[in-house]
Structure 1
Amino acid sequence: MEEIRHFLEGHKALALGGAVVGGAVVGALGVLGWTAFHKNDAGPLTPPVDPSSFTKKNHVYLLIPPRLGAVPSISPFCVKLETWFRMANIPYEVVETMSPSPSKQTFPYIYLNGEETADSRFIIEKCAQRFGKRLDNHLTEMEKAIFVAYSHMIEEHFVITYAWHRYTLGADTFWKNFMPYERLGPMGKRMAGAREFMRKGIQERAWLRGIGRHSPEEIYRLAEEDLQSLSTYLGNREFFFGREPSVIDCTLFAHLCQLLCLDVDFPPKKKLQSEWKNLADYVQRIKIRFYPDWNLVCSPKANGTDNRN
């Protein structure tokens, strides 16, 4: 996740190649990718990004890690941003790469008119201003305050709970289904080292955040409290604040689809089909309305333009 760059900054040996995907440190992926790009004995997973090829004026080039299936990206922050482009009806072009942002060493990032911008929050601000597309104009001041609070809960707390599970207790299922080495080109079995690095990375980050000091049962309880709060607030509304989508819908959808669409046995997920079914229905509504090409978008190598156009 984006804020974990602070963790990477404290580990200078990883900083050059550090990247973040799916709410956990994937510095190993960045390091291995960096190595593949710069050693003669291994070809690159994807070519290094050449910004000079992004020549279209007022055209968004969205750079994300390679798609692996089931969801548009295993990084919720990439899904959040792609969903925002669709909700705001801004055409974009996906570029799959293992090279993280030059400025912040994170995903996602964009190039627009030759300028790189990283971090989904700042990308949305930049593009909203550039294209005059602000999804939150209809919100009241109270709703804007609630938006800030829930955004931080989802992106700074909830994500740690399920990322911790994904890369520790749920790692066998995740790596088998969504990180098969044969899909990752010449890096091949060297990715096995990334798995252990990622496990240690998320455990250390979760420990520093305080969440990792708890038992698995306690961590799941924290996740359930977040989901219960979200379900209660959403109620029977179409979107988080009513009939019109806003940025919080991009955020919530991006994280919920990580639970509902990825086959990783995260225990709180079971209640999304019973007690909090309104959250599952909410995800389905957004998929239908903004991702009519969901299966195509989620497919490996589904890069190119926004496939609705």
Structure 2
Amino acid sequence: MSIKYMQFQSGFSVPNPSPFCMKGEILLKMAGVEYASEIMDDPRKAPKGKLPFLIDGGTEIADTALIQRHLESKYDVDFHAGLTTEQRATSHAMARMIEERLYWVTLYSRWIDNHNWPIIRNFWFGSMPPVIRNLVPIIAQKQVKTGLQAQGLGRHTVEDIYAFGAADLAALSAQLGKQAFMFGDQPSSLDAVAYPIIANSLIEKLPGPLLDAAKSHANFAPYVQRCEALWFADSGN
């Protein structure tokens, strides 16, 4: 098996608590290529200091956008098959909405929100030795705060941050409508981006405004169930 896929551990009853790790694995499944998944605890050891990344024939490809491009180029995969030009444009725009804003709202809800941060801290760092367990989370949370400030979302009020997330989820719900997938009966690349963020927004163990907003859309839960049955039926989640 020539492809090795490096990602975070699973948890919270979703295939992966990282939407990007879920996205990368879905792309591999959609491409129909064989791969072996491996867990990496320290993303600092990854090529670009983040997960996921894959190793294909000795070549390391980091970032899910580049993973998608690699699969399209090397394995002749069309993740937009059957979509019109307008649908492809919508797919591109909505993927950017998810990854450039809604993802950051999710990050805020976990790493900054005072209710969820202890849960996240215990999940990622709870098994570390005592001294490290007390120090590393402080450093990690500070890095997330710095990232949120640099991205711009962290400069807003809590109310505005969650309002942004609610608006993005509402847009996804409207796009999905009564369809099986984002553009009809067949999944496309947008589902590889939308399903992971929606599934992660619906995690009951991480309550708050983002969960409330996600649960307000009746078409989300069935959509997540369809996608999980399609791509992660054997994951045990």
TM-score, reference length from structure 2: 0.90
Distance 1:262 1:78, change over 3 A: farther
2:190 to 235, 248, 253: 248
Query: In the aligned structure 2, how far is the partner of 1:173 from the partner of 1:181?
Result: 10
Whether 1:217 aligns to 2:159 is yes
Extract unaligned runs of 5+ from structure 1: 1-55, 299-309
> 1:204 is matched with which residue?
146
Extract unaligned runs of 5+ from structure 2: none
Structure 1 stretches of 4+ moved >6 Å: none
> 1:70 is matched with which residue?
13
Query: In the aligned structure 1, how far is the partner of 2:164 from the partner of 2:12?
Result: 28
> 1:49 is matched with which residue?
none
Query: In the aligned structure 1, how far is the partner of 2:23 from the partner of 2:61?
Result: 15
Compute the RMSD of aligned alpha carbons.
Answer: 2.0
Shift of residue 65, structure 1, vs aligned partner:
2.6
2:89 to 145, 162, 167: 145
Distance 1:215 1:102, change over 3 A: closer
Identical-pair percentage: 25
Query: In the aligned structure 2, how far is the partner of 1:247 from the partner of 1:189?
Result: 43
1:117 to 61, 64, 75: 61
Report Cα offsets for 1:96-119 as digits up to 9, x if no partner.
Answer: 123546532221111111111111
Report Cα offsets for 1:260-288 as digits up to 9, x if no partner.
Answer: 236111313124333x1212221111011
Q: How many residues align?
A: 234
Pairs within 5 Å for 1:78-157: 78-100=21-43, 102-157=46-101
Q: Is the partner of 2:37 in helix, strand or coil?
A: strand
Distance 1:132 1:188, change over 3 A: farther
Shift of residue 180, structure 1, vs aligned partner:
5.3
Q: Which amino acid aligns with 2:179?
A: R
Q: Is the partner of 2:179 in helix, strand or coil?
A: coil
Report Cα offsets for 1:191-222 as digits up to 9, x if no partner.
Answer: 33222223222222222222212221111111
Q: Is the partner of 1:196 in helix, strand or coil?
A: helix
TM-score, reference length from structure 1: 0.70
1:292 to 219, 233, 236: 233
Shift of residue 188, structure 1, vs aligned partner:
5.5
Query: In the aligned structure 1, how far is the partner of 2:12 from the partner of 2:158?
Result: 27
Q: Report which of the two structures shows the higher radius of gyration computed on alpha carbons.
A: 1
> 1:171 is matched with which residue?
117
Query: In the aligned structure 2, how far is the partner of 1:271 from the partner of 1:258?
Result: 12
